[in-house]
């Protein structure tokens, strides 16, 4: 670790994890990273600090997120119940957006963002 990296990690809100603790089968474990953020909910300040820490770790280990993809409506599975609800109450949203079906395991927000950015709700291999 260089001196500048050490100084960066000395910020009170940043945590350092060794490569063994942040990887899963030799790749960055995104689900563990997201879990370290989610456990701090509902304190958004602490969540933001942890997200900053995770970003710093990713930069330290030269981790890059996948490229952002553009999905078309034919590439997604529509969540029918949401579509019907929006049709009845906020039809204008359906002109711009398609409610996508993601797994409802408590991580649906993260899965939705992953799906919107990367075309998959699978956060890590």
The model's pLDDT over 81-90, given as tens digits with 9 standing for 90+, comes to: 888 998 999 8
Does the structure show a pLDDT above 80 at 73? no
Q: Can you give 48-113 as a three-state secondary structure string?
A: HHHHHHHHHHHHHCCCCCCCCCCCCHHHCCECHHHHHHHHHHCHHHHHHCCCECCCCCCCHHHHHH
Which pLDDT does position 123 carry in this prediction?
Answer: 57
**Is pLDDT at 55 greater than 60 in this prediction?**
yes
pLDDT tops 60 at residue 99: yes
- With a cut of 60, say whether residue 59 has pLDDT above it: yes
- At residue 84, the pLDDT reads 92
Mean of per-residue pLDDT scores for the chain: 82
pLDDT tens figures, 104-115: 888 788 788 888
Task: Give the residues across from 108 on adjacent strands.
Answer: none
Of residues 53 and 21, which shows the higher confidence score?
A: 53
pTM comes to 0.54
Q: Where are the domains of the chain?
A: 3-60, 73-118
């Amino acid at each position: 670790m260089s001196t500048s990296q050490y100084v960066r990690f000395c910020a009170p809100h940043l945590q350092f994890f060794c490569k063994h603790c942040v990887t899963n089968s030799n790749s960055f474990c995104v689900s563990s990273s997201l879990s370290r953020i989610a456990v701090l909910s509902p304190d958004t300040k602490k969540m933001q600090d942890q997200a900053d820490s995770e970003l710093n770790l990713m930069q330290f280990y030269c981790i890059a997120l996948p490229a952002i993809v553009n999905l078309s409506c034919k590439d997604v599975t529509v969540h029918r119940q949401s579509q019907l609800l929006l049709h009845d109450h906020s039809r204008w949203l359906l002109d711009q957006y398609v409610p996508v079906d993601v797994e409802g395991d408590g991580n649906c927000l993260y899965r939705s963002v992953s799906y919107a950015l990367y075309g998959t709700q699978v956060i890590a291999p």
